[in-house]
Amino acid sequence: MIVRPIEEHDIDVCIEMGEAMHQESRYSPYEFNKDKILQLINATFTNPESYSMFVVEDDEEIVGLLVGVCVEYWFGTDKQTADLAIYVKPEKRGTSAVGRLIRAYEKWASNLGIKEIGVSTSTGVDTERTRGLFQRLGYTPAAYAYSKRI
């Protein structure tokens, strides 16, 4: 498996994977907007200091992706990164795909001089398994998030 930044010829596949992630997740009742995803992907090309997107390939097939964002903390000018999406096709989960994506994301983040790298799980898919993976990769719980539909 190899990880690399997204390239223009990957856009359609990545939008399809984003839609698959959306359909599998707790967000499936909400709108999925391909144009908004395309805007985000384009931001990774035009503003690489603020947005990143990596894909992981297995036998020349894209099997996963990670989208990251770099922002200042709300209270100061130090920067942090957060993932906006981490997705691996179901048949490739349990392989090295997600670990490879996270290592590429960490390298991108460290080159930006940030203070903290964040990863999260909010999809409701394999939450405990994902939490365990993040901890094995050296991440510690930092917060709790709650939601309430209205």
Per-residue pLDDT, 125:
77
Count of beta carbons in the 10 Å neighbourhood of residue 23: 10
- Structural tokens at position 12: 């359609």
Q: What is the DSSP string of 86-130?
A: EEE-GGGTTSSHHHHHHHHHHHHHHTTT-SEE-----S-SSHHHH
Residue showing tokens 């906006």: 84
Domains, the chain, in order of start with CATH, read 2-136 (3.40.630.30)
d(CA 44, CA 51): 5
pLDDT tens digit at each of 150 positions of the chain: 999 999 999 999 999 999 999 999 989 999 999 999 999 999 999 999 999 999 999 999 999 999 999 999 999 999 999 999 999 999 999 899 999 999 999 999 999 988 889 888 777 677 778 888 888 989 998 888 888 888
